[in-house]
Chain A
């Protein structure tokens, strides 16, 4: 357990230091969302309607931005060799790395959401609904994205391939995330239904993600 805690601590520390990915993700999220009102125009009703979708898209792209470094950085400097040789099962190590990534890059997005909700003319209740769906849904993005990161680890410039691999997998999360947010804001659907499915998607990816990532890391070692 100390080993996994040490890994999570190390990854978060690296992400928060100069050159780490955590702040870049949030800044990207901020930029995308701030640009939207300029693109859509000053129609407040329209912005309110599009708000949840914009926030979700921004969060999806921002979490993808830093995901390619998840294993690539460790592969480049040889850390991955030692991680594979450690006494911890690789599946647990992958889960710990994804958790660290989510804490450093996913959680800040959720914290930034209330501020960005203001820009999109969302009231407090709607913003908190979106933040709640992001809290339930972004782990799914990280844990499915990890599979792509593990597949692309040996490729230089694997980031683009990662996007192609991971974006289709995140469609269900996007659909139910936005559906749950809109259900909370406008109805008529009850909030609980799509939100439960969103939580289910996250739980499934928590189970499948580490196993698939560990399998592709083992296969890709060479």
Chain B
């Protein structure tokens, strides 16, 4: 499986953010997108996820499941965690597992994997920022999709959490997954770097 971006151009609010961007990444590889604030790291992830329209160029997936689109095979982990405060941690996670479809894994086991099983029946409103991030990561585990698009994945995570997430990302890559992460901090797994905006 190979993800190819060719001459990608992004326009937000009538302003060109970046253009003629080429990138390429394959199964088992992680790509970190770096660059100063406002250089379009999040936009690139959202373009790949199909949440923004590509102004020019293309982003294509080679060798994925033929009947699914790129965004249907991708997980997007954004700044906002998509969890409902009124529902419990487990209810939130079970809902996303059932709704996202694909190969599903036990929600409770995913909570154990991110160290959140003790809070399974707590309403999500009571979680701290780091715990919410762990819950979002559990979402990536409970419904399996080959492409992970991660936006500042390690923000709000403590040192142990960052190590844990690095292990989980390593497992994902070992299974033949593919990661694109926009980040300022080192990811903790071996990765290629794509720098956008500003001077190198």
Contact = CB atoms under 8 A, between A and B. Distances in A.
A84 B84 CA distance: 17
Contact of A10 (B71, B78, B95): B95
Interface stretch (B16-24, B47-55, B168-176, B190-198): B47-55
Interface residues of B, number: 28
B78 A78 contact: yes
A18 B88 CA distance: 13
B51 A84 contact: yes
A167 B99 CA distance: 32
B118 interface: no
Contacts of B98: 2-3, 5-6
Give the interface SS of chain A, mostly helix, strand, loop or mixed.
helix
B72 A85 contact: yes
Contacts of A88: 99, 101
B15 interface: no
A42 interface: no
B80 A78 contact: yes
Contacts of B86: 13-14, 17-20
Contacts of B84: 10, 14, 77, 79
Contacts of A14: 84, 86-87
B148 interface: no
Contact of B68 (A3, A7, A81, A87): A87
Interface string B125-164: 0000000000000000000000000000000000000000
B165 interface: no
B187 to A, nearest CB: 22
Contacts of A5: 98
A6 B95 contact: yes
Counting chain A CB atoms within 10 Å of each CB, which of B52, B72, B80 scores highest? Answer: B80
Nearest to A4: B99
Given A77-B80, A87-B68, A82 B87 contact: no
A3 B99 contact: yes
A160 interface: no
B82 A82 contact: yes
Contacts of B80: 76-78, 81
A221 interface: yes
Interface string A62-88: 000000000000001111011111111
B66 to A, nearest CB: 14
B79 A84 contact: no
Contact of B101 (A3, A9, A13, A18): A3
Contact of B81 (A9, A19, A78, A85): A78
Contacts of A7: 95, 99
Contact of B102 (A17, A87, A221): A87
Contacts of A81: 49, 51, 76, 78, 80, 82
B135 to A, nearest CB: 12
A77 B101 contact: no
Contacts of A3: 98-101
Given A77-B82, A84-B51, 10 more contacts: A3-B98, A3-B100, A9-B95, A13-B87, A20-B86, A78-B81, A81-B76, A85-B49, A86-B99, A88-B99
Question: Which 3 A-B pairs have CB atoms at the shortest separation, nearest pair first?
Answer: A78-B80, A6-B98, A17-B86
Interface of A: 2-3, 5-7, 9-10, 13-14, 17-20, 76-79, 81-88, 221-222
12 contacts: A3-B98, A10-B87, A17-B86, A78-B78, A78-B79, A81-B78, A82-B100, A84-B50, A84-B51, A85-B71, A85-B76, A86-B101
